[in-house]
Structure 1
Amino acid sequence: MRRWLAVLVAATTSLVLVALLVPLGLLIRALAQSGAVTQATSEAQSVAAAVGTADLDGLTLTAERITASSGHAVTVFLPGGRTAGSPARRSPGVELASRGQSLTARTSGGGLEVLVAVQGLPGGTAVVRAYLTEADLTRGVREAWLGMLVLGLALIGVGILVADRLALALTRPMTGLARVSHRLAAGDLAARTVPGGPVEVRDVGLALNHLAGRISDLLAEERETAADISHRLRTPLTGLRLETESLSDPEEAARLGGRVDALERAVSSVIIDVRRRSQEQASCDAVAVVAERVRFWSVLAEDQGRPVDLDLPAGPLVVAAGAADLSACVDALLGNVFAHTPEGASFAVRLTPAQGGAVRLAVADAGPGFPAHAQAGDPLDRGRSGAGSTGLGLDIARRTAESSGGSLLLETAPGGGAMVVLLLGGADPAALGAP
């Protein structure tokens, strides 16, 4: 914007200066010509005063003295064809002036001759001629034009400088508004702008600060509401646990008790997640979390006759995601396997390092694979499933991957089934165990 304002001011100032300086330049040239003609006329008249009283030698001396002092060639055309002063031929203007009329006329050589008729002489009318060259007519004009040009350029420069200062006063607060907007978009809800600049820009800054504050209030309210709902879920969970403990079959009671524990952990994870500040970044050992969740699901896989292939590295792989988030992600992916493949279909979980410090988690099954329309990305749309489920499983996994700085991909397993690949962002091992 600063550049465009400078260009606009330069163009406007140039137009104004052209409209002003061009007529002024023409006026200066006209005044220079008028001054030269006036001076030459005065010189010719001073010589004309001596025509009736001086002889030929005296007239010649007078004309030569004025020529030397002014630089204008002065010639006296006397009756009878005699001349005194600077040599010159009789031009049509001289012939016209010899009839008794003083005048100014252009010559064929490009100059200007000032002719003064002197009447009352015995032999007729004498003509005093003062000749002005083009240089005489334009003396000082070029210097004046150059001065006006320098002045015009200086005014344009000053105008651009002033416009740049004014533009800076306008663009600086607007740049601050854009910077705060980007920070808010990145999740920094504490970002605020310092209102400044013109009244309109200041109003926008105040409105942006008010909007940021309102967003923070709404998010805080949403977190508290979600936490309140999560707390309310503990009451039916407690009743469910009591019902489980009252079962007569100890094995069935233990199995259902494990499910209730998992559900309670998920509820606790929701409470922690909605209260977590956005700038905090959790981390965990993906090997330990994936191993624990596959071990949990292996019990149900054994009941359904599903072969499980688990491939984990020997050492820890630290990812930029919390243990609760990664557990929920793995549960969502394995839950999809059990929900959308027939009993007895095998599945494989592989965790390997990837480029750039990332971690690759692949969950593949031997089921029917994704439907044809799913290859276009439909399963990744929140709330869309097409298979009778809530459609939130892949969305949970995708958000976990993206929050860690990674991504989620849908591929086809080597056996023709579905395979979900998560690229999880790596984290510093020193941050292991961060909230």
Structure 2
Amino acid sequence: MRRRLTILVGATTSLVLVAFLVPLALLVQTVAYDQALNSASLEARTLSVVAATGDEASLRATVQRTNSGEPFPVTVFLPGGRVIGEPAPESAAVRLARSGRTFNAELPDGGVEVLFSVGAPDGTSVTRVLVSEEQLRSGVYRAWLILALMGVALLLISLAVANRLARSLVRSIDELAGASHRLAEGDLSAQARPDGPPEINAVAATLNTLAARISDLLVGERERVADLSHRVRTPLTALKLDAESVRDPEERERLETSIAALERAVTQSINDARRPAEDGGRCDATRVVRDRVEFWTVLAEDQERRLDAELPDRPLAVGVAGDELESAVDALLGNVFAHTPEGTAFSVRLRAADGGGAVLVVEDEGPGLSRSPQRGESGAGSTGLGLDIARRAAEGSGGSFAADSPVGARITLRLGPAGDPRQAVTARRAPGAF
């Protein structure tokens, strides 16, 4: 924008200068031409007065004095073919002037001869004053050079002023754009400084108001989620008391383990809701997935589900926090148990991804995804939030989420490498979220 404004001002200034300087240059040339001819005509008229007296001696003295001091060569053609002054042939213009005419004649090789006819006692005399091409243009080129330099100076000044004004304008727009980018990246503390034209100041003030409003809405949302999660602690306490009253040790242990996992999830929800969202995070995907597979293996055995787990024997560092990856894996495996009949086999495969990170694939042999409910939709025991947790964990690490149904349901999470600067800024809704 700065460059375009400078070019626009330069083009406008150039047009104005051309419209002003070209006529002025032509006027200078015309004035120099007329001034030279007027001076020569005045000299010819003065000599013609002396020639009219018929005193040849006085005429010769006057012509000699004129040729020695004036820049214009003077020649007087007397009756009978005599010539006084600068030698010159009697041209057709001179012969025409002998008929009593006074005029200016242009020469073929440039220049003008001023011819003044005057009657003498013994005939007609013609006074000829020669004005050369250089004399006709005397001072013209110097004046043109001055005009050209003045035009260039004015153009440079206008470009400098335009560049300064454009820089102040563009700087304000750049600061506004920078604040917008920081807000888009999640930095709600970004503020735009109102420094520029009134229109840009109004946009900056509106952007700051928007950022403050978003911050207030996020704080309110976190508090509501935290309050809702905190309310779950009361029924959790009741469940723990009920579990302690179960007499079967194995059943009591299983219930206590499930309640403890639920309590950890509630605590994590409270902590996540109360702290601002932060980019980054890392964990060992192999360790997290192995722990969650071992947790769900007990329930898989109770429901006679075959579980095939393929996990690497080395750590895989990914760019997502461990608790977020745990929630994602639990959401995927919980969907298998919630939406497929008992006895349905499923598999969990984890491998290293090309370029760093990891790829997690959870696949079952159930009915598949005939319809992909969106986040927030409920039906058939679904709240529309399960797969969205996994999607946000994958995209937050700089990876991707995919869901398809080649036979049953297959969910693929591509987790970005640890330290990957790409973080999800907005939570896009993935198709197929339970």
Query: What is the TM-score of this pair, normalised by structure 1?
Result: 0.86
- Structure 1 position 48 matched with structure 2 position 41: no
Q: Give the structure 2 partner of residue 306 of structure 1.
A: 305
Q: Give the structure 1 partner of residue 27 of structure 2.
A: 27
Give the CA deviation at 1:365. Answer: 2.0
SS at match of 2:304: coil
SS at match of 2:355: helix
After superposition, residues 7-406 of structure 1 pair within 5 angstroms as 7-53=7-53, 56=56, 59=59, 62-63=62-63, 65-67=65-67, 69-85=69-85, 86-92=87-93, 94=94, 97-107=97-107, 109-119=109-119, 121-247=120-246, 249-279=248-278, 281-371=280-370, 381-383=374-376, 389-406=382-399
**How far, CA to CA, are the matches of 1:215 and 1:115 in structure 2?**
93
Greater alpha carbon shift after TM alignment, 265-274 vs 193-202? 193-202
Greater alpha carbon shift after TM alignment, 226-235 vs 78-87? 78-87
Greater alpha carbon shift after TM alignment, 59-68 vs 355-364? 59-68
CA deviation map 1:276-305 (0-9, x unaligned)? 222364333322321222122212211221
Q: Give the structure 2 partner of residue 427 of structure 1.
A: 418
SS at match of 1:131: strand
**How far, CA to CA, are the matches of 2:308 and 2:387 in structure 1?**
21
**How far, CA to CA, are the matches of 1:339 and 1:68 in structure 2?**
122
Cα–Cα, structure 1 residues 291 and 108, in superposed 2: closer, same or farther, change >3 Å? closer
8 Å CA contact 1:116–1:127 kept in 2: the answer is yes
SS at match of 2:216: helix
CA deviation map 1:102-157 (0-9, x unaligned)? 433445555322222323x2123322111223322112212211221121112111
Greater alpha carbon shift after TM alignment, 318-327 vs 107-116? 107-116
Structure 1 stretches lacking a partner, 5+ long = 429-435
Cα–Cα, structure 1 residues 306 and 64, in superposed 2: closer, same or farther, change >3 Å? farther
Give the CA deviation at 1:66. Answer: 3.2
CA deviation map 1:67-108 (0-9, x unaligned)? 45444332212234433333133434x456445454334455
Q: CA RMSD in A?
A: 2.8
8 Å CA contact 2:319–2:357 kept in 1: the answer is no
Greater alpha carbon shift after TM alignment, 398-407 vs 319-328? 319-328
8 Å CA contact 2:10–2:155 kept in 1: the answer is yes
Greater alpha carbon shift after TM alignment, 52-61 vs 419-428? 52-61
Greater alpha carbon shift after TM alignment, 128-137 vs 23-32? 128-137
**How far, CA to CA, are the matches of 2:77 and 2:398 in structure 1?**
104
Structure 2 stretches lacking a partner, 5+ long = 420-434
Give the CA deviation at 1:386. Answer: 9.2
Give the CA deviation at 1:53. Answer: 4.9
**How far, CA to CA, are the matches of 2:198 and 2:379 in structure 1?**
53
Q: Which amino acid aligns with 2:195?
A: G
**How far, CA to CA, are the matches of 2:32 and 2:163 in structure 1?**
39
Greater alpha carbon shift after TM alignment, 248-257 vs 141-150? 248-257
**How far, CA to CA, are the matches of 1:89 and 1:397 in structure 2?**
111
**How far, CA to CA, are the matches of 2:378 and 2:398 in structure 1?**
25
**How far, CA to CA, are the matches of 2:278 and 2:176 in structure 1?**
21
Greater alpha carbon shift after TM alignment, 107-116 vs 37-46? 107-116
8 Å CA contact 2:54–2:121 kept in 1: the answer is no
Q: Which amino acid aligns with 1:396?
A: I
SS at match of 1:355: coil
**How far, CA to CA, are the matches of 1:70 and 1:215 in structure 2?**
89
8 Å CA contact 1:56–1:84 kept in 2: the answer is no
Q: Which amino acid aligns with 1:89?
A: E
Query: What is the TM-score of this pair, normalised by structure 2?
Result: 0.86
Greater alpha carbon shift after TM alignment, 337-346 vs 94-103? 94-103
8 Å CA contact 1:117–1:127 kept in 2: the answer is yes
Give the CA deviation at 1:61. Answer: 5.9
Q: Which amino acid aligns with 1:423?
A: R
SS at match of 1:357: coil
